[in-house]
Each structure stands twice: as C-alpha cells, then as structure tokens.
C-alpha cells in the first residue's frame, strides 16, 4: 500500500473524494466476454418498480429511454446479488460468472 | 466414470474451509470447489472475525494467520444529523492471548490462508470452479455438476457453503429466493492510512484494534447502520441497510456510503485517507425464522447459505459459519462410518447446532429483525431527540439549572411519546443482550 501522506500537513486534509466510476476503477475485475446477468427484457418493460436501477451498489443497471430498455454493465458487477433479491418481476437470471472471472477483491 | 470423494464442499469461505480442515484432518477424502480466482477473492465481511472455533481447530492461529488487529476498543455511537453520543469501551485485558477471540481481518487475505491450511491438512481445493447444480439419484444428492469438462463429481455428502447469495440452496429445493427484508446489503470501502495515524487517531497501541459501530441517523434517518474497523494500515468503513429499505425509499447504496463518510463525526476519523477498494456483499439477517431447511438426503447447508447470522447487536457471522462447518464435518464423518448419508442421519448436524451457541443464539435473538423493522423512530426521532437533550443539557447559558431541566423535560415529552418509548426500550433488550 502506498503512503497516503501528502502535502505539508500530513493526515489533516479531508479524505479524498472519488466518484463511483473512480472507485470501481480501483476494484480488480476479470471481465468475461458475455454477461452473467441475463435480463428478460419483456418483463423489464412491463415492470413499474425497476428496483435494479436503485439497488445496485455499482449501478450496473441503466434505463435507456430511447430504446427503451435496461442496459447491464455487467463488467462492474460486485456480485453481491442484491438485484436478484430486489427484482420483483423475476426478470434477472443471475448466474455465477465463469470460474475465475468477475470481481476479484484484494482486501475484501 | 466420475471422481468420487467422501465429501464435496462448495465454497471456500469460513464455513467451507472449517469443514474441509476438519474432514481432511480426520483422513476423509474431501474436495472444495471455489468459484473465485483464489479463496477469498469473492468474499467480504465488515471485518471482525470471532475466533473461538478457529482457535480450537488451529490453536494460536493468530501467530500465523493474516489477522489485522485484535479488538480491544469498542465504541457504540448514536448519530443525529450532525452530532454524536457514544459509549466507548476499552478493555486492556483483551490484549492478552487469545485476544478475546476477536480480530479485524480482510477476507481476501484471511480466507486464502484458511483454505491453504485445509489444503495442507489434505483437502483438495479447486479454484475457478463454478458448481452449477447437483447430481441426484431418486431425490438424494450424490454429487455436483461443475462448469468444466468432465465436471461430474460424486460424494457421500455435499456441504453447501456458497454464501449469502446461495443459488444452490434454492436449486436443491431447500428454500425460495430470500425476501428483501431478510437481506442486508453491506457496502464497504478500504481506506488506507499510515499505521501510526491509525494508532494515534483511535487511541491504540501495538496490535490493538478498534470497532466503531454507528447507529441512529447513519443513513439519513432510514434503518441501517455504519461501521469503522481498524486494520493494520487501513480502515474498513461501511454501511449496512436492508434491501427492502433501499427498495422502498429509492436509496442508492453508493450515495449512502458517501453520506455516511461525510457525517461530521465520521469524516474526521477518515482524514488523510486514500480509498483502496470498494466492495459490496449481502448479509442474511432474517434471523431464525428466515432460515432454510438445513439438510436433505446427501446435503448440508452451512454458514451464510444456511442463514446462520446472529442479527442482534453482536453481529456474529464468521464464528457461526466456522462452527457450522465443523459440525457438518463431524456429521459427515459419523455418516460415513455408518454408511448412511440420508437426511435422518445428517440431521445430527442440526442437533449439534441446537446444542451449541449457534442455534441457541439464533433463537434468543429471533425477534431482533422484526423489532428493528417495526421501530423506525430508532433511526430518526430517537437519535435526534437524544442529541437535542444532550445539546440542551450542555448548552452554557444564564438560565438556572432548574429552568434548563424544566425545559428539557417539556421538550422531550412533547416529541417522544413516552409509552411507545418504553415499549421500544423493552423490546430492544432482545437486540442488545
């Protein structure tokens, strides 16, 4: 771990700010070519709740108005499984990523 | 022909590794399938490991295990929107072995070590191996299907320790998908600071560690809590919130942890830090009544997969996981001697859990999740009022003490219905001790 002491008053400046995207950049992912989160898009269109858009800690689910559909950036999935629990319409087929793929914590 | 073992274990977390270590030490043939690149790579906990069971399995494990700090300081803190009242407990005797059996750990390091110990004891650990389903013979589970070529493996019994998001316990028909109110989503950041800064800031010396729990208005008045645990040269900082609460209130977890870190009483503890990792994990905190059936013919559920988390203030999970792993292993050893892996035989596992702290505590605190759900004022009105009382009490003015205390009583009575407060406090004993 690198030394975080910087500047003239070590340890006194506020904790560094990072956006979610920057935080996810710190996490090691071994990205597979195919998604392990399969959506039943018809069910998603009919869904009025769309809990997935809120619940995901890495915000992999995005509603694209133009299409319209939910896109899944599975590459940043932390594999917590909260979307599967929260999805009321049963539209998420949550599969474990291929062995060795997906999130790989250094600290955990 | 498929390979055959005495026991197959799915998942190399605390439960799976404890089971593997025990089985292998007893000379059983055991294979562990772990889907991560290495054991621990998918795993996350707040960060405190309670180690009574581990210390029995591997005496004085702390001499070799990658533990971060032993916890000597515990701080329970009630946050209002911008203030804090806390109970701070420092027990120096916990600095002596066995260190009160509570250590901060980072699971990617710790689980890897524990799996290596099981491997050294004779267990076969296969990483990057996803178990997708079971092999059955007349409803009896006789093996697993691994996502790889020739991936059919047979065993007398399968121990399922695949964690909080246990897809396989549903596949085995032991449970439905858990309800949103039964699952907590934990979000955590690893924030690095020099060792000296951590020890100065948290008033620690040597390998001592602090566990700070935050209650009240951690999540903007919604049910949930926050924590800071000290590791050797970083902090584990995070929040936990029921998935149902996130869902019903449209709360984004990434925003909640940011807000928690910015609370005046929290941000000063994080100064100068650098974010090293961001992670999330579920915790099954539905308690006793949300637990699935733990056995069926040829199958035993352990740890988080079995819902074995004490949902009270004690927040124990890893210790229950390891205990369940050891009990499952003992049960499989006995079953093999008799050549009987039926549910009736494997139910000895449930009996062992019942006779131990695991199910005794699960039953003792069975109402904790429901009590918390039914008292939303614990997270908003009560902390606000408590801190307001303290503010008035400590405000320096020229009013006489009689006047101040009169105002205190009036202010409190007006906002907190006394009967409900008493009722809630009475119920809270079921969460606290």
Q: Tell me: the pLDDT tens digits for B303-323?
A: 999 999 998 887 899 999 999
Q: What is the pLDDT of residue A8?
A: 47
Q: Do B165 and A106 touch (CB under 8 A)?
A: no
Chain centroid to Cα B206, Å, comes to 26
Chain A interface mutation, best of B104, B130, B266, highest count of A Cβ atoms under 10 Å: B130
Query: Which residues pair with residue B181 across a beta bridge?
Result: none
- Asked if residue A104 is part of any domain, the answer here is no
Q: In whole angstroms, how far apart are CA B398 and each of A71, B136, B401, B407, B415?
A: 63, 80, 9, 14, 25
Structural contact between residues B281 and B45, judged by C-beta atoms closer than 8 angstroms? yes
Q: In whole angstroms, how far apart are CA B287 and each of A17, A86, B187?
A: 36, 19, 20
CA-based nearest residue in chain B for residue A98 = B130
Task: Specify which of A66-70, B71-75, B381-385 reaches the highest per-range mean pLDDT.
Answer: B71-75
The HSE-up count of residue B271 (CA atoms within 13 Å, CB side) is 14
- Which residues between 321 and 340 in chain B have a beta carbon less than 8 angstroms from any beta carbon of chain A? none
Q: What is the pLDDT of residue A10?
A: 53
Number of domains making up chain A: 1
Summarize the confidence of residues B100-127 as an average pLDDT.
Answer: 98
- Asked if residue A38 is part of any domain, the answer here is yes
The structure tokens 């929107």 sit at B81
Closest of B393, B148, B173 to residue B297, by C-alpha: B173
pLDDT-derived band at A87 (thresholds 50, 70, 90) equals very high
Structural contact between residues B236 and B168, judged by C-beta atoms closer than 8 angstroms? no
- Asked if residue A2 is part of any domain, the answer here is no
Residue A38 has pLDDT above 80, yes or no: yes
- Asked if residue A79 is part of any domain, the answer here is yes
Tell me phi and psi for residue A75, to 5 degrees.
-60, -30
Q: What is the ipTM of this complex?
A: 0.94
Summarize the confidence of residues B352-381 as an average pLDDT.
Answer: 91
CA distance A22 to chain B (A): 10
What is the rounded distance in angstroms from the CA atom of residue B242 to the CA atom of residue B284? 10
**B318-332, B348-362, B367-381: least confident range:** B367-381
- Asked if residue A82 is part of any domain, the answer here is yes
Q: What is the pLDDT of residue B374?
A: 85
Structural contact between residues B299 and B346, judged by C-beta atoms closer than 8 angstroms? yes
- Which residues between 233 and 292 in chain B have a beta carbon less than 8 angstroms from any beta carbon of chain A? 233-234, 243, 246-247, 250-254, 261, 267, 270-282
Nearest CB partner across the interface for A16, out of B35, B194, B275: B275
Q: What is the pLDDT of residue B414?
A: 74
Summarize the confidence of residues A82-107 as an average pLDDT.
Answer: 97
Determine the structural domain holding residue A55 and report its residue range.
30-95
Among residues of chain B, what percentage have pLDDT more than 70? 99
pLDDT-derived band at B430 (thresholds 50, 70, 90) equals confident
Chain B interface includes A64 (CB < 8 A): no
- Asked if residue A85 is part of any domain, the answer here is yes
CA distance B400 to chain A (A): 40
Among residues of chain A, what percentage have pLDDT more than 70? 90
Domains of chain B, each with CATH number or no CATH? 3-66+106-175+292-355 (3.50.50.60), 181-283 (3.30.9.90), 370-432 (no CATH)
Say how many Å lie between the first and final Cα of chain B, rounded: 53
CATH number at residue A69: 3.30.70.20
Q: In whole angstroms, how far apart are CA B172 and each of A88, B35, B142, B196, B416?
A: 22, 18, 12, 50, 48
The structure tokens 């998603």 sit at A44
Residue A13 CB coordination number (10 Å)? 14
- Asked if residue A24 is part of any domain, the answer here is no
């Amino acid at each position: 771990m690198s030394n975080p002491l910087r500047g003239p008053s070590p340890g006194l400046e506020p904790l560094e700010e990072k956006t979610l995207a920057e935080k996810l950049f710190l996490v090691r992912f071994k990205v597979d070519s195919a998604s392990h989160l399969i959506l039943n898009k018809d069910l998603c269109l009919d869904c009025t709740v769309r809990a997935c858009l809120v619940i995901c800690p890495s915000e992999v689910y995005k509603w694209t108005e133009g299409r319209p559909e939910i896109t899944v950036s599975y590459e940043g999935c932390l594999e917590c499984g909260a979307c599967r629990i929260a999805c009321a319409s049963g539209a998420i087929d949550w599969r474990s990523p291929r062995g060795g793929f997906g999130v790989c914590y250094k600290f955990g | 022909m498929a390979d055959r073992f005495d026991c197959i274990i799915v998942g190399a977390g605390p439960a799976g590794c404890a089971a593997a270590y025990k089985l292998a030490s007893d000379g059983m043939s055991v294979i562990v399938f772990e889907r991560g690149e290495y054991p621990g790579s998918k795993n996350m906990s707040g960060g405190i490991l309670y180690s009574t069971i581990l210390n029995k399995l591997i005496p004085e494990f702390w001499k070799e295990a990658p533990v971060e700090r032993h916890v000597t300081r515990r701080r329970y803190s009630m946050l209002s929107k911008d203030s804090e009242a806390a109970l701070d407990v420092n027990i120096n005797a916990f600095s002596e072995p066995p260190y009160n059996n509570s250590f901060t750990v980072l699971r990617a390091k710790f689980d890897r070590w524990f799996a290596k110990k099981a491997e050294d004891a004779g267990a076969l650990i296969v990483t990057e191996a996803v178990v997708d389903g079971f092999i059955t013979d007349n409803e009896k589970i006789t093996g697993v299907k691994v996502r790889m070529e020739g991936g059919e493996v047979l065993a007398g019994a399968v121990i399922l320790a695949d964690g909080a998001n246990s897809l396989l316990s549903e596949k085995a028909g032991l449970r439905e998908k858990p309800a949103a109110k039964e699952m907590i989503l934990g979000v955590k950041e690893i924030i690095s600071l020099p060792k000296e800064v951590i020890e100065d800031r948290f008033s620690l010396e040597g390998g001592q560690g602090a566990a700070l729990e935050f209650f009240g208005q951690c999540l903007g008045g919604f049910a949930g809590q926050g924590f800071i645990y000290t590791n050797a040269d970083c902090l584990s900082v995070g929040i936990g919130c029921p998935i149902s609460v996130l869902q019903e209130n449209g709360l984004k977890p990434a925003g909640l942890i940011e807000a928690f870190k910015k609370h005046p009483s929290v941000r000063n503890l994080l100064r100068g830090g650098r974010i090293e990792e961001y992670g999330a994990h579920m915790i099954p905190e539905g308690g006793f009544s949300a637990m699935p059936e733990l056995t069926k013919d040829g199958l035993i559920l352990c740890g988080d997969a079995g819902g074995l988390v004490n949902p009270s203030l004690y927040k124990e999970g890893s210790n229950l996981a390891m205990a369940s792993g050891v009990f499952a292993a003992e049960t499989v050893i006995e079953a093999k001697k008799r050549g009987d892996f039926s549910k009736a035989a494997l139910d000895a596992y449930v009996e062992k859990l019942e006779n131990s702290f695991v199910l005794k505590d699960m039953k003792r605190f069975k109402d904790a999740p429901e009590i918390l759900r039914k008292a939303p004022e614990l997270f908003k009105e009560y902390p606000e009022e408590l801190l307001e009382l303290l503010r008035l009490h400590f405000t320096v003015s020229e009013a006489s003490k009689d006047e101040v205390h009169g105002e205190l009583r009036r202010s409190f009575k007006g906002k907190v219905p006394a009967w409900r407060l008493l009722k809630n406090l009475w119920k809270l004993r079921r969460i606290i001790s």
